């Protein structure tokens, strides 16, 4: 049973660059949520995708955008990277936009230099 898969696992980018992170949900799941976790902090909600639409968004600037594909996989794009964007980016999948049954991927560790 495939869990949530995220790629890449690690990434180093320069300030001002753009980055795309990818997530494949757990088999049977159709909802994808993205979180940013800075060191020593809890995961901060970025946005949630269901039926290829952004359903909810946290307090993140427009530099953060996303997409969900027909196969339920998702991408997170961050433009004009700042040093403060350095964090672990977590993807979680669930079924039909429900709060129960979230499964997290291992995350992508982004370092902005």
Length of the chain: 113
**Which region among 16-24, 50-58, 66-74, 79-87 touches another protein (by CB under 8 A)?**
50-58
What stretches of 51-99 adopt beta strand conformation (E)?
A: 53-57, 64-68, 74-78, 87-94
Q: Does 43 bind another protein (CB under 8 A)?
A: yes
Residue 91: name the closest of 57, 48, 58 by CA: 48
Q: Does 56 bind another protein (CB under 8 A)?
A: yes
Q: Does 111 bind another protein (CB under 8 A)?
A: no
Q: How far is CA 37 from CA 45, 48, 82, 107, in A?
A: 9, 16, 15, 9
Cβ–Cβ under 8 Å, residues 83 and 6: no
Nearer to another protein, 31 or 78 (CB): 31
Q: Does 102 bind another protein (CB under 8 A)?
A: yes
Q: How many residues bind another protein (CB under 8 A)?
A: 24
- Spacing of C-alpha 76 from chain mean position: 5
Which of 74, 85, 93, 105 touches another protein (CB under 8 A)?
Answer: 105
Q: Which stretches of the chain bind another protein, using CB under 8 A?
A: 33, 35, 41-45, 48, 50, 53, 55-56, 58, 90, 92, 97-100, 102, 104-107
């Amino acid at each position: 049973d495939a869990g949530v898969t995220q790629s890449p696992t690690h990434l180093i980018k320069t300030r001002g660059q753009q980055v795309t992170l990818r997530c494949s949900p757990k088999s049977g799941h159709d909802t994808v949520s993205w979180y940013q976790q800075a060191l020593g902090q809890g995961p901060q909600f970025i946005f949630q995708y269901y039926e290829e639409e952004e359903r909810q968004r946290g307090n993140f600037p427009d530099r953060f955008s996303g997409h969900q594909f027909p196969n339920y996989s998702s991408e997170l794009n961050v433009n004009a990277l700042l040093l403060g964007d350095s964090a672990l980016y977590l993807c979680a999948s669930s079924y039909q936009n429900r709060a129960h049954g979230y499964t997290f991927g291992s995350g992508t560790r982004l370092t902005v230099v």
